[in-house]
Each structure stands twice: as C-alpha cells, then as structure tokens.
C-alpha cells in the first residue's frame, strides 16, 4: 500500500539472512543506492537496524526489545507459564505453548526437558504447521471455510515418512482432532520425536492457544507418552479456566532482576 514503507520493510528479511552492505541492499531491493541509504538511515534511527564497524548493516537491538515486549503482552502466556513449569516438573519433558496468527503457528513459550537429549525449537519460531500437534489443534478450531482455505494454501513438506503431505489428508486429520479434542504428532516432523497436545480455550470457547509435551523415542515410547494425555488435558483445562476468569490466578514465584 505504501511503497516507501513497503521497501523499507523488505530490507528486514534480507538483513535477517546476514549482514549486508549498502550496494547489496540496493540491488536486492531494486532501487538506487541513495534510496536504499535513506531507508536504511531511517531504520537505523529507530534502532531497527544496526551498523557494524565494517559499515555493513545488521538487524538491531530494538527489534529484540520490541519482540520481547510483544510476547510479554500476550496474557495467555503470562497465565500459562506456571502451569507449563509444573507440567514439566511432573513429566520431565519439553513443554511448548503455541498460538495461531496469520497463517502461521508459533511457539510463544517453552520449558526445556530435564533429559539430556533436547529438541531444537525457539520461542517466536514458526512451527511445522502441517504436522505439529499444536498446529492441528489451532487450525482444527477455525470455522470450516477458513480451515479449508488455509489447508489448501499450505505447503506439505515430507519431513518424514509419517508426515502429512496433502491438504485432504490434513483436513481429515483436523476433523479427527476437532472431534477428539486433542492431537498428536507421532514422528511426523522428526522421525524420533513424539508429541501430545491439548487446546487452551478462551471464555468464548475459541481455541486461543495449544500446549504440547514432546519427547524423543529414546526417552519414552509413543505409547508411554500417550499415557500423559489426561495430565496434559487437565493442565490445558486449568489454563483455560484461569484465562477465562473462572479460577483465581495462582501465586507467582518470587522474582527479581539480575545484572
């Protein structure tokens, strides 16, 4: 809509790949160097990009700070966190919290496994939307037309032999998940990783977030992981109840600031 802003914002993903100098930015943006310079200057003034000693540009600190503030303002996260910690304490496995936004599903909180074999994931990172258990729950909750249109607009990478690889299979899976009220991913993303997930509902019944417990085969088998399902569902329901104001918020642990 706004050409100038559009160009400026297009610089960001470009810099996310790694540092670049003025000429590279100008070329990849398809504009004159002087134009790129002015855009970069403006981004720089706002701290969105940073200039390295070698004059190349990188994404800057304020971007972190913004993302930070944004994630802290998500009230589901705030409420859910102690529950995630507790679930982690009870099971020992990695616990994730995810939300749906703009055709992406992304982790907004995580508590690490106590086992030495960890899985790679990061808060803020989009999940494998076609296979992740949390993604299934969040998409399954969409109204039919939107669910269909989203499903048909996705790519279906074949991460493993057990990945879902087309929209009709995905929609069928979503229907099943919608029906049963929980979801799994059994080796659909990484051959050796299984997850069970349950939905967090808002006061209007819509699914506002989903949480999952993930563990590699080498620690527990899929069957064993499934025995945790009732616990996961209870936890998700506790979060839902609190989020909807049906339960008083829990006492939060003491916190202070370091240097």
Partner DNA sequence: AATGCGTATTGCAGGTAATGCAATGAATCG
Partner DNA sequence: CGATTCATTGCATTACCTGCAATACGCATT
Q: List, in order, residues 6 or more apart from 163 with CB less than 8 Å away.
A: 130, 131, 156, 157, 188, 189
Euclidean distance between CA atoms 64 and 147, whole angstroms:
32
Interaction residues for its own copies, span 28-87 (CB under 8 A): 38-39, 41-43, 45-48, 50, 58-61, 63-73
Among 223, 246, 248, 259, binds its own copies (CB under 8 A): 259
User: Which of DNA, its own copies, none interacts with 22 (beta carbon under 5 to 8 A by kind)?
Assistant: DNA
- Per CB under 8 A, the segment of 165-173, 208-216, 220-228, 242-250 that binds its own copies is 208-216
**Cβ atoms of 242 and 250 closer than 8 Å:** yes
Rounded least distance, CB 69 to DNA, Å: 21
Q: Which long-range contacts (CB under 8 A, 24 or more apart) does 111-115 make?
A: 111/84, 111/85, 111/87, 112/88, 113/88, 113/214, 113/215, 114/88, 115/215, 115/219
Chain centroid, CA 87 distance in Å: 19
Q: Per rule CB under 7 A, is residue 50 in the interface with DNA? A: no
Site size with its own copies, rule: CB under 8 A: 82
Q: Per rule CB under 7 A, is residue 146 in the interface with DNA? A: no
Interaction residues for DNA, span 112-141 (CB under 7 A): none
CA atoms within a 13 Å half-sphere pointing along the CA-CB vector of 194: 16
Rounded least distance, CB 207 to its own copies, Å: 13
Q: Classify residue 183 by its DSSP letter.
A: E
CB atoms < 10 A from the CB of 114, how many? 12
Q: Per rule CB under 8 A, is residue 8 in the interface with its own copies? A: yes
Q: List, in order, residues 6 or more apart from 259 with CB less than 8 Å away.
A: none
- Per CB under 7 A, the segment of 35-43, 108-116, 117-125, 128-136 that binds DNA is 35-43
User: Which of its own copies, DNA, none interacts with 33 (beta carbon under 5 to 8 A by kind)?
Assistant: DNA
Rounded least distance, CB 49 to DNA, Å: 12
What the block records as the tokens of 122 is 């990061």
- Per CB under 8 A, the segment of 22-30, 165-173, 209-217, 227-235 that binds its own copies is 209-217
Interface positions with DNA (CB under 7 A): 1-5, 7, 21-23, 31-35, 37-39, 55-56
């Amino acid at each position: 809509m706004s050409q100038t802003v559009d160009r400026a914002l297009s610089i960001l993903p470009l810099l996310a790949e790694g540092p670049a100098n003025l000429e590279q930015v100008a070329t990849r943006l398809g504009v004159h160097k002087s134009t790129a310079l002015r855009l970069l200057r403006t981004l720089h003034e706002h701290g969105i990009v940073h200039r390295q000693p070698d004059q190349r540009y990188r994404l800057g600190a304020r971007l972190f700070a913004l993302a930070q503030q944004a994630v802290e303002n998500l009230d589901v996260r705030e409420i859910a966190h102690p529950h995630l910690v507790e679930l982690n304490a009870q099971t020992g496995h990695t616990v994730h919290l995810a939300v749906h936004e703009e055709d992406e599903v992304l982790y907004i909180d995580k508590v690490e496994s106590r086992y030495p074999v960890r899985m790679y994931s990061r808060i803020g990172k989009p999940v494998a939307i076609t296979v992740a258990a949390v993604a299934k729950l969040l998409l399954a909750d969409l109204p039919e037309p939107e669910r269909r249109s989203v499903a048909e607009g996705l790519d279906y990478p074949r991460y493993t032999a057990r990945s879902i690889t087309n929209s009709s299979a995905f929609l069928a899976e979503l229907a099943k998940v919608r029906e049963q009220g929980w979801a799994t991913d059994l080796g659909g993303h990484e051959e050796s990783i299984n997850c069970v997930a349950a939905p967090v509902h808002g006061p209007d019944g819509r699914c506002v977030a989903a949480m999952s417990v993930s563990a590699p085969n080498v620690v527990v088998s899929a069957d064993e992981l499934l025995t945790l399902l009732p616990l996961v569902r209870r936890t998700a329901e506790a979060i839902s109840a609190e989020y909807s104001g049906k339960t008083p918020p829990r006492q939060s642990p003491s916190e202070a600031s370091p240097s």
